[in-house]
Structure 1
């Protein structure tokens, strides 16, 4: 009835509504057809559903996700969620967290069950760190992370790390330096907080790329805590390899530092040169690494050029600015030795976190067998490393 009255008004001579023009210009079946289409469109709007948005007071934000391996083979995964507890006062010092955990046969099952542990909707949009317990690394890395790759509300820019002795113990550490509104774990990897050559950062999207892509093995940082509920350490890393991407090689602090140098992921690092009274520390401010794989000769060769520059940061003897070239040669020799040791270690353990295999595959015409060629070539590869170190100053003030 209302619609009929509306059409009658539109057909009045003094009506300026667009429908009146339509009616006066077209008559008969054409007019009825146009009116029917408009009515059908308006009727369809009545069946549109509203959005599924929930107010912020109905949500609770997950800051970090931990995964440990339980002793129950039927429910092998233990999921721990670190949840930020909202505070009423902005000036209140420190940050409060709540923890909920559940074992399950799969990660999705455990997380679905954890939703029944809170009175608010779990929001994973702010989950910045995913911590894998050391015990879960015996399983396939792809199987463990598959849930996070697929879930749409998990950000692919979340950082992935390994927790020792377990993910739960790492998540429950409260550093005294953590301030309100900040998250200590993310400060290790974001470069907005600490900057260290001993820290390897791995985004979730990069971990997936390395897992799926051949010729590029995943490497994750290790977060350690040793019984102290207020202290975390991140200065080691672990490399995964094989078809199932299981734990293969753990790198020490020194090896992690030189990996960052070769991967060209550092801004500053120190290189200790010499021993005893002839020892000095070279502070690297800039680094550049280039390499190419040469297969035209009798034996395959990986030629790598490393350029490092900086100043002397510490010394146990008096240094003369006239001998900077001499100190530079010593620093270059030491850097070359450490780089070769790390490259040889990767080769012996058959791991490739630097992506040499991917470079080999990308710089040659595809024949469907390039990665198999690389697997046969890698054990016989010879490393030709040259280092150019430039020390700009002895760092002393006269």
Structure 2
């Protein structure tokens, strides 16, 4: 091939590239002043067959200065519809800017939604590319709309109060269960582990609390966990930041601050015997409060008291899960994954779970009595 032919092809390719630039439609990016940022999404059940879903969007209003941004200002869009996507399309006609869901980190379901099939609703959030899979999912009591519309006095536009409840860099509490959207989907669709969601409660205009949780069994059944049960669930699920363990023995009352835990377990199925779940728990901390003067020479005795109380409460919680036929800790998933054969393993687990015997071994190490001699 001659030199002129090669140069001619190069010129032709350059010409085609330049021509393609002229055919571009332009950038679809919208400036920040043309957007409204959705901070939270609420879904409630209306009991209206034609429009069963009530969608609530919490939108942060832009401010002109940092001083004004210190006071949170929000607006809310509420719409009833038979589909979530249809409701959002109508909501777009109610504002003069584009709705941006990139900051929507909290998705709330009203209590009445728990009696419905959440798979269809969840499908919408998973299909939208602008909703993050690391968004937190929770239950709003009495409704998702009321929880979203509650504005705590400490809330700032750049730091949403609901975000702070679940983020590890803000509130750290053993009473708070965190469930991400991707994990919630896995728990809903997977056999061997049940979904668990935190409950956000509001009774006042400026107060939201979260210290309980609920395990979803089916559309018609659920199991609500108390504050103490939620705390020990977090301990067993290895999601514990810190745990206050109250110990009462005779006339002695101790409050131990547990700051590190380690949980290991295995499922044993011996022949011609009841299956056994053997769990080893290690905890460490310091005594935070006491009704009597304590001696550092009796730490082993205090450890023994803590072991007895912890073991009793953990067995009580596991027995409750067993009686209600729920498995938020994923024991069934562990059973399926730890068996060589893969056929009908979940069916086997369903048969042995009611007869499972819990062997709990707790080892508590109290570092000090919390006082200085």
Please state which band the TM-score falls in when normalised by the shorter chain: over 0.9
Give the alignment's Cα RMSD to 1 decimal. Answer: 1.7
Query: In the alignment, is residue 220 of structure 1 matched against residue 194 of structure 2?
Result: no
Query: In the alignment, is residue 352 of structure 1 matched against residue 331 of structure 2?
Result: no
- Please point out which of 257, 266, 283 is paired with 2:257: 283
Tell me the distance in 2 between the aligned counterparts of 1:34 and 1:121. 43
8 A Cα contact 1:324 1:393, kept in partner: yes
Tell me the distance in 2 between the aligned counterparts of 1:305 and 1:261. 12
Match of 1:145 in 2: 122
Match of 1:315 in 2: 290
8 A Cα contact 1:305 1:387, kept in partner: yes
Cα deviation, 1:75-94, whole Å, max 9, x if unaligned, reads 00000000001111212332
Map 1:117-136 → 2, pairs under 5 A: 117-136=94-113
Match of 2:246 in 1: 272
Tell me the distance in 1 between the aligned counterparts of 2:39 and 2:7. 59
Alignment partner of 1:206: what SS? helix
Query: In the alignment, is residue 250 of structure 1 matched against residue 227 of structure 2?
Result: no
Q: Structure 1 residue 379: deviation in Å?
A: 1.1
Query: In the alignment, is residue 377 of structure 1 matched against residue 352 of structure 2?
Result: yes
Query: In the alignment, is residue 55 of structure 1 matched against residue 31 of structure 2?
Result: yes
Cα deviation, 1:277-312, whole Å, max 9, x if unaligned, reads 321111101111000011134221110001011111
Cα deviation, 1:203-230, whole Å, max 9, x if unaligned, reads 111111211222111111000011x101
The unaligned stretches of length 5 or more in structure 1 are 1-21
Tell me the distance in 2 between the aligned counterparts of 1:167 and 1:206. 20
Alignment partner of 1:340: what SS? helix
User: Which 4+ stretches in 1 moved above 6 angstroms?
Assistant: none
Tell me the distance in 1 between the aligned counterparts of 2:16 and 2:121. 50
Q: Structure 1 residue 322: deviation in Å?
A: 1.1
Query: In the alignment, is residue 331 of structure 1 matched against residue 306 of structure 2?
Result: yes
Match of 2:136 in 1: 159
8 A Cα contact 1:133 1:165, kept in partner: yes
Map 1:1-398 → 2, pairs under 5 A: 25-27=2-4, 32-33=8-9, 35-92=11-68, 93-226=70-203, 228-242=204-218, 247-274=221-248, 277-297=251-271, 298-398=273-373
8 A Cα contact 1:238 1:247, kept in partner: no
Cα deviation, 1:299-335, whole Å, max 9, x if unaligned, reads 2111000101111111112211111101100100100
8 A Cα contact 2:198 2:210, kept in partner: yes
Q: 1:180 to 1:121 in 2, by over 3 A?
A: closer
| TM-score normalised over the length of structure 2 | 0.95
Tell me the distance in 2 between the aligned counterparts of 1:372 and 1:50. 56
Alignment partner of 2:171: what SS? coil
Q: Structure 1 residue 370: deviation in Å?
A: 1.1
The unaligned stretches of length 5 or more in structure 2 are none
Q: Which region of structure 1 is more displaced relative to structure 2, 357-366 or 336-345?
A: 357-366
Tell me the distance in 1 between the aligned counterparts of 2:227 and 2:325. 20
Tell me the distance in 2 between the aligned counterparts of 1:153 and 1:57. 18
**How many residue pairs align between the two structures?**
371
8 A Cα contact 1:267 1:287, kept in partner: no
Q: 1:383 to 1:324 in 2, by over 3 A?
A: same
Q: Structure 1 residue 141: deviation in Å?
A: 2.4
